[in-house]
Chain A
Amino acid sequence: QLVLTQSPSASASLGASVKLTCTLSSGHSSYAIAWHQQQPEKGPRYLMKLNSDGSHSKGDGIPDRFSGSSSGAERYLTISSLQSEDEADYYCQTWGTAWVFGGGTKLTVL
Chain B
Amino acid sequence: EVQLVESGGGLVQPGGSLRLSCAASGFTFSSYWMHWVRQAPGKGLVWVSRINSDGSSTSYADSVKGRFTISRDNAKNTLYLQMNSLRAEDTAVYYCAIATPGGFYWGQGTLVTVSS
A residues near B (Cβ < 8 Å) are 34, 36, 38, 43-46, 48-49, 57-60, 89, 91, 93, 95, 97-104
A102 to B45, alpha carbons, bound, how many Å?
8
Residue of B nearest to A58 (CB): B103
Most chain A Cβ neighbours within 10 Å, of B61, B106, B108 = B106
* B45–A44 touching, CB < 8 Å: yes
Shortest distance from the beta carbon of A41 to any chain B beta carbon, whole Å? 10
Asked, given contacts A98-B59, A98-B61, A100-B47, whether A46 binds B107 with beta carbons under 8 Å apart, the answer is no
Count of chain B residues near A, Cβ 8 A: 21
Q: Does B11 contact A (CB under 8 A)?
A: no
Asked, given contacts A95-B99, A99-B35, whether A45 binds B47 with beta carbons under 8 Å apart, the answer is no
A36 to B95, alpha carbons, bound, how many Å?
14
* A91–B44 touching, CB < 8 Å: yes
* B44–A103 touching, CB < 8 Å: yes
Asked, given contacts A43-B109, A98-B61, whether A49 binds B103 with beta carbons under 8 Å apart, the answer is yes
Q: Which residues of B are found within 8 Å of A45, using beta-carbon distances?
A: 106
Interfacial residues of chain B within 66-116, with CB under 8 A of chain A in the complex: 93, 95, 97, 99, 102-109
